[in-house]
């Protein structure tokens, strides 16, 4: 009985404590633009031409449950994230090293992926009052070329601010039409028509996720693409309202990724508490903020076993 009460308390803390929020304080659009310019100026001219390579044929079709994804999160404009702390080449090398123990310990082939923030929630409203700014196409091109060179994938992460998910998907539609590009939604930064990122607790509904996946499935169908992954981040019960009503669709594999921060016990409990049987499962590990850091054997011991590992 005591153990059951402790587990229940741990689960409650892991899914409800505001300190479990994953994201740093939002930047202004001007700050992001300055950092973008510095980043691009530091790239060799040959890199800006991007890569024309294609997806490795072994990663065609549906990724789950046959494969497992190990992913690095962030953006060069977000210095405290894995992608912000490493050059593109350095991130590729480090991702390969991080994926290696999962390939050795598990029974599934491992796919490497970059989760690049491609719509940033911002501290100011901007000219349209939507509290978001979009990633440079040049930056997206660089990370897609690097992912292809490594035989992996690229995920475009959306922090919508006051914008709608539909509007942001339309803005990313050309990238979403690439065969090796997936999408992610970060509800923490979906603050509605009057909210302010960093002050207003964000959330999305099952209906919003279903509308997004329907549009994404249409892109897959119209361009004759392999199935895509749609990751929806969550760290508390209120992140995704009505999560059991989220639909799986032909051509889009929906996955809930647990973004809670803390020790292994509360994180494991929160992850299990928010899982939905019909959806795929993801789990985040925070290099700088989890104490102690969970090792791959412990991560693979989670119930349910994760299909997707996100390192931040």
pLDDT, tens digit (0-9, with 9 covering 90-100), for 244-273: 999 999 999 999 999 999 999 999 999 999
**2-49+58-311 in CATH: which number?**
3.20.20
**Residue 13 pLDDT:** 43
How high is the pLDDT of residue 78?
97
- As a whole number of angstroms, the distance between CA 84 and CA 57 comes to 29
Entry field: residues in the chain: 312
Tell me if 162 sits within 8 A of 129, measured CB to CB. yes
Determine if the pTM surpasses 0.85.
yes
Distance (Å, rounded) from C-alpha 252 to C-alpha 246? 12
Q: What is the pLDDT of residues 108-147, one digit of tens each?
A: 999 999 999 999 999 999 999 999 999 999 999 999 999 9
pLDDT surpassing 50 at residue 51: no
Rounded CA-CA distance 249/247 in Å is 6
Percent of the chain residues past pLDDT 70, beyond the cut:
88
Residue 2 burial class via C-beta count within 10 angstroms: exposed 0-12, middle 13-18, buried 19 and up: exposed
pLDDT mean over 209-219 = 98
| CA distances in angstroms from 16 to 11, 47, 195, 203, 236, listed in the order given | 8, 43, 20, 13, 5
Q: What secondary structure does DSSP assign to 142-169, as a single string?
A: HHHHHHHHTT-EEEEEE--BTS-HHHHH
Q: What CA–CA distance (Å, rounded) separates 78 from 92?
A: 17
* The two three-digit tokens of residue 124, written as one number: 């100011």
The Cα–Cα gap between 307 and 273 comes to 16
Residue 61 pLDDT: 86
Structure tokens at 197: 């990122």
Residue 7 is predicted with a pLDDT of 40
Evaluate if residue 16 carries a pLDDT over 80: no
* Predicted pLDDT of residue 63: 96
What are the percentages of helix, strand and coil residues in the chain, rounded to 5? 40, 20, 40
CA 105 vs CA 28, 47, 101, 158: distances in Å: 42, 35, 6, 32
Contact 285, 292 (CB under 8 A): no
pLDDT given for residue 228 in this prediction: 98
User: What's the rounded mean pLDDT across residues 12-19?
Assistant: 40
- Domain extent listing, the chain: 2-49+58-311
């Amino acid at each position: 009985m005591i153990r059951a009460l402790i587990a229940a308390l741990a689960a409650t803390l892991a899914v409800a404590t505001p300190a479990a929020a994953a994201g740093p304080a939002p930047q202004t659009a001007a700050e992001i633009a300055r950092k973008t310019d510095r980043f691009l100026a530091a790239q060799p001219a040959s890199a800006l031409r991007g890569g024309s390579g294609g997806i490795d044929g072994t990663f065609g079709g549906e990724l789950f449950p046959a494969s497992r994804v190990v992913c690095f999160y962030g953006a060069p404009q977000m210095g405290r994230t894995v992608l912000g702390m490493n050059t593109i080449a350095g991130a590729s090398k480090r991702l390969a090293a991080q994926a290696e123990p999962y390939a050795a310990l598990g029974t599934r082939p491992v796919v490497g992926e970059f989760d690049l923030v491609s719509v940033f929630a911002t501290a100011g409203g901007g000219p349209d009052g939507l509290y978001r700014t979009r990633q440079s196409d040049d930056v997206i091109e660089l990370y897609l070329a690097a992912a292809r060179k490594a035989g992996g994938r690229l995920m475009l992460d959306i922090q919508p601010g006051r914008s709608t998910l539909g509007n942001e998907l339309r803005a990313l539609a050309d990238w979403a039409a690439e065969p090796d590009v997936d999408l992610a939604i970060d509800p923490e930064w979906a603050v509605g028509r009057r909210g302010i990122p960093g002050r207003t607790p964000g959330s999305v509904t099952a209906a919003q996720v279903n509308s997004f996946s329907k549009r994404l499935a249409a892109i897959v169908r119209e361009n004759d693409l392999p199935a895509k992954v749609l990751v929806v981040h969550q760290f508390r019960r209120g992140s995704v309202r009505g999560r059991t009503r989220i639909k799986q669709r032909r051509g889009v594999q929906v996955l809930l990724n647990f973004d809670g921060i803390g020790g292994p016990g509360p994180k494991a409990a929160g992850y299990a508490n928010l899982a939905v049987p019909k959806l795929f499962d993801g789990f985040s590990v925070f290099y700088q903020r989890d104490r102690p850091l969970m090792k791959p054997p412990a991560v693979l011991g989670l119930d349910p076993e994760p299909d997707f590992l996100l390192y931040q």
